[in-house]
């Protein structure tokens, strides 16, 4: 666990204490959104547990550490499913048939289940039998996005460690210090990352995200000159993003930046600094109250979609609200 895992210092400290006091549990459940660092934390913990040096930090040099780094450790088993769910047969084959066999040569036999919340009820019940009477040297590390997907009996037999979203400032500092992002790039991707370093990195490498953003911002810039009928027609174009509603966050952040300019009259706190000139131009065309109202309309559209509202209708209502300027 010597590698820095940003924003998870309290969890690392808890795991280190368990190792120091020889009170390592037989099962842990790491819960957090995609990109929260669950896999990184589990791998670091497993590496430290198996290290030949026997401390709370992996040495990085012993045969165990090298095997972990090469993803070829014989006593660290990753449980994988072939479908969208982990079924009972997969749990039995990958865990049940091997769990009582002695480990090859290291201190523990560690099972890491990356998408444990996809286990079916039958699979969870099969795992539960092992969790109730686990072999002494076996440790389970379950990784999940949804804690509520588990049976209460599974939760009661695991140490639940939650990885909440990180502060945006932490994500930005990581991007700048570890990945050499400029402050402007870090602010941009950090704002879309929703507290996930992994998501920020994914977005920075995504051509789809970049193309979507350019298209959405281009629409917002020409919106004041568009006729209402043309704006309504754009609701149909948005249907291509029906399964990827990140475009709503892009629209929301645009009006957030416009409102920032209206209130502060300077660019220091802009998120989308690469569009500074365009944002100032948009701010000159509307009042602060309008910008706030439009940001609220975007949030309302997102809430409607979350409640299974009609996509086309929700977009039309939102776009009409964005088109209107009530006062300057």
Q: Is the dihedral of CA 181, 184, 190, 192 positive or negative?
A: negative
To which residue do tokens 């990140």 refer? 246
Mean pLDDT of the region 144-161: 96
Q: How confident is the model at residue 4 (pLDDT cuts 50, 70, 90)?
A: low
DSSP string, 3-39: S--TT-HHHHHHHHHHHHTT---SEEEEEE-TTSSHH
| Cross-strand partners of 140 | 27, 111
DSSP-derived letter for residue 2 is: -
Q: What is the largest CA-CA distance in the chain?
A: 75
Write the pLDDT tens digit of every residue in 100-150.
Answer: 999 999 999 999 999 999 999 999 999 999 999 889 999 999 999 999 999
CB 318 within 8 A of CB 277: no
Write the pLDDT tens digit of every residue in 33-81.
Answer: 988 999 999 999 999 999 999 889 999 999 999 999 999 999 999 998 8
CA dihedral 216, 222, 223, 224 (to 10 degrees): 150
Residue 1 or 206, more confident: 206
Q: Which domains occur in the chain, in start order?
A: 9-163 (3.40.50.300), 206-323 (1.20.272)
Is the pLDDT score of 242 beyond 70? yes
Categorise residue 164: left if φ over 0, alpha if ψ from -120 to 50, beta otherwise: beta
Inter-residue long-range contacts of 311-319, CB under 8 Å, 24+ positions, other chains counted = 311/238, 311/239, 311/242, 312/235, 312/236, 312/239, 315/235, 315/238, 315/239, 316/232, 316/235, 319/231, 319/232, 319/234, 319/235
What is residue 146's predicted lDDT score, i.e. its pLDDT?
A: 95
List C-alpha distances in Å: 310 to 216, 301, 306, 314, 317. 21, 10, 10, 6, 11
What is residue 172's predicted lDDT score, i.e. its pLDDT?
A: 93
pTM attached to this predicted model: 0.79
To which residue do tokens 């300027």 refer? 325
CB 262 within 8 A of CB 227: no
């Amino acid at each position: 666990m010597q590698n820095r895992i940003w924003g998870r210092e309290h969890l690392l400290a808890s795991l280190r204490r368990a190792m120091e006091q020889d009170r390592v549990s037989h099962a842990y459940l790491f819960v957090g959104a995609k990109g929260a660092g669950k896999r990184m934390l589990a791998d670091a913990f497993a590496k430290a547990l198996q290290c030949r040096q026997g401390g709370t930090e992996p040495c990085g040099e012993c045969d165990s550490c090298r095997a972990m780094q090469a993803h070829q450790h014989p006593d660290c088993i990753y449980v994988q499913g072939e479908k969208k769910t982990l079924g009972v047969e997969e749990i039995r084959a990958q865990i049940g048939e091997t769990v009582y066999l002695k480990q090859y040569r290291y201190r523990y036999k560690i099972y890491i289940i990356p998408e444990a919340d996809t286990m079916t009820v039958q699979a969870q019940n099969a795992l539960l039998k092992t969790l109730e009477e686990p072999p002494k040297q076996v440790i389970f590390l379950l990784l999940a996005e949804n804690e509520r997907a588990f049976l209460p009996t599974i939760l009661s037999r695991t140490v639940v460690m939650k990885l909440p979203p990180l502060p945006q400032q932490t994500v930005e500092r990581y991007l700048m210090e570890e990945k050499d992002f400029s402050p402007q790039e870090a602010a941009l991707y950090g704002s879309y990352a929703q507290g996930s370093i992994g998501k920020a990195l994914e977005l920075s490498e995504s051509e789809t995200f970049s193309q979507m953003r350019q298209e959405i911002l281009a629409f917002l810039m020409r919106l004041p000159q568009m006729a209402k009928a043309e704006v309504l027609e754009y609701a149909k174009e948005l249907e291509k993003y029906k399964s990827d509603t990140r475009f709503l966050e892009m629209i929301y952040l645009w009006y957030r930046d416009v409102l920032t300019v209206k209130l502060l009259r300077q660019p220091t706190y802009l998120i989308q600094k690469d569009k500074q000139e365009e944002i100032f131009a948009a701010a000159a065309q509307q009042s602060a109250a309008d910008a706030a109202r439009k940001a609220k309309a975007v949030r309302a559209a997102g809430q409607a979609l979350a409640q299974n509202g009609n996509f086309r209708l929700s977009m039309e209502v939102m776009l009409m609200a964005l088109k209107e300027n009530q006062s300057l």
